Amino acid sequence: MTEIKEKLVQWDPADIKSKLIAKYPPKVARKRAKQIMINEALENETPEITANVRTIPGIITMRGCTYAGCKGVIMGPTRDIVNLVHGPIGCSFYAWLTRRNQTDAGENGENYIPYAFSTDMQEQDIIFGGEKKLTTAIQEAYDIFHPKSIAIFATCPVGLIGDDIHTVARLMKEKFGDCNVYAFSCEGYKGVSQSAGHHIANNQVFRHIVGENDEVKPGKFKINLLGEYNIGGDGFEIDRIFKKCGITCISTFSGNATYDQFASAHTADLNAVMCHRSINYVADMLETKYGIPWVKVNFIGAQSTAKSLRKIAAYFDDKELIAQVEKVIAEEMPEVETAAAEVRTRTEGKTAMLFVGASRAHHYQGLFNEMGMKVISAGYEFAHRDDYEGRQVLPLKVDADSRNIEEIEVEADETRYAPRKTPEQMAELEKAGMDFKNYNGLIPDMEKGTLIIDDLNQYEAEKLVELMKPDIFCAGIKEKFSIMKLGIPMKQLHSYDSGGPYAGFKGAVNFYQEIDRLTSSKVWAYLKAPWQENPELTAAYVWE
Partner 1 sequence: MLLRHTPKEIPERKALAINPAKTCQPIGAMYAALGIHGCLPYSHGSQGCCAYHRSTLTRHYKEPVSAATSSFTEGASVFGGQANLLQGINNIFTVYEPDVIAVHTTCLSETIGDDLPQIRKKAIMEGKIPEGKYVLGASTPSYSGSHVTGFSTMVKSMVEFSERTDKKNGKINIIPGWVEPSDMEEIKRMAQLTGVETIIFPDTSGVLNGPMTGKYKMFPDGGTTIEELKSTGDSIGTLALGEWCSAAAARELDKKCKVPCKGLDMPFGLQATDRFVDALRTIAGVSVSDELSFERGQLVDLITDMHQYFYKKKVAIAGDPDQVIAMVEFLVSIDMCPVHIVTGTPGKKFEKRIKELTEGMGIDVNVKAKGDLFLLHQWMKNEPVDLLICNSYGKYMARDEDVPLIRWGFPILDRQGHQYFPTVGYKGGLRLLEKILNALLDRKDRDDPETSFELVL
484 near partner 1 (CB under 8 A):
yes
Shorter beta-carbon distance to partner 1: residue 398 or 412? 398
309, amino acid identity:
L
Shorter beta-carbon distance to partner 1: residue 330 or 484? 484
Whether 208 is catalytic is no
Question: Could you give the CA distance from residue 236 to residue 228 in angstroms, rounded to a whole number?
Answer: 10
Catalytic residue among 32, 79, 99, 208: 99
3 near partner 1 (CB under 8 A):
no
Question: Could you give the CA distance from residue 265 to residue 260 in angstroms, rounded to a whole number?
Answer: 8
Whether residue 357 contacts residue 381, with contact meaning beta carbons closer than 8 Å, is answered with yes
Whether 51 is catalytic is no
Catalytic residue among 32, 79, 86, 198: 198
160 near partner 1 (CB under 8 A):
yes
112 near partner 1 (CB under 8 A):
yes
Candidates 35, 46, 78, 92: give the one binding partner 1 (CB under 8 A): 92
340 near partner 1 (CB under 8 A):
no
123 near partner 1 (CB under 8 A):
yes
259 near partner 1 (CB under 8 A):
no
Shorter beta-carbon distance to partner 1: residue 288 or 458? 458
Contact residues for 223 (Cβ-Cβ < 8 A; gap 6+): 242, 247, 248, 249, 250, 268, 269, 270, 271, 272, 312
Size of the site for partner 1 (CB under 8 A): 90
Question: Could you give the CA distance from residue 285 to residue 209 in angstroms, rounded to a whole number?
Answer: 13
Whether residue 113 contacts residue 46, with contact meaning beta carbons closer than 8 Å, is answered with no
Question: Could you give the CA distance from residue 436 to residue 285 in angstroms, rounded to a whole number?
Answer: 14
Question: Could you give the CA distance from residue 91 to residue 69 in angstroms, rounded to a whole number?
Answer: 12
Q: Which stretch binds partner 1 (CB under 8 A): 39-47, 81-89, 209-217, 346-354?
A: 81-89
Binding to partner 1 (CB under 8 A): which residues in 16-75?
Answer: 23-25, 28, 54-68
Binding to partner 1 (CB under 8 A): which residues in 167-226?
Answer: 187-193
Shorter beta-carbon distance to partner 1: residue 193 or 204? 193
**Helical residues (DSSP H) of 177-318, grouped into ranges:** 194-208, 234-245, 259-264, 276-290, 302-316
What is the torsional sign of CA 463, 66, 232, 314? positive
Binding to partner 1 (CB under 8 A): which residues in 413-472?
Answer: 458-459, 462
**Helical residues (DSSP H) of 449-520, grouped into ranges:** 458-468, 477-485, 504-520
Backbone angles phi, psi at 353, to 5 degrees: -125, 140
Whether residue 361 contacts residue 476, with contact meaning beta carbons closer than 8 Å, is answered with no
535 near partner 1 (CB under 8 A):
no
Candidates 133, 277, 384, 506: give the one binding partner 1 (CB under 8 A): 133
Q: CB 61 → partner 1: shortest distance, Å?
A: 6
530 near partner 1 (CB under 8 A):
no
Whether 199 is catalytic is no
Whether 494 is catalytic is no
231 near partner 1 (CB under 8 A):
no
Helix crossing, 458-468 with 477-485: angle to 10°? 40
Shorter beta-carbon distance to partner 1: residue 60 or 434? 60
Q: Would you please indicate which residues are annotated as catalytic (active-site) residues? A: 65, 68, 99, 198
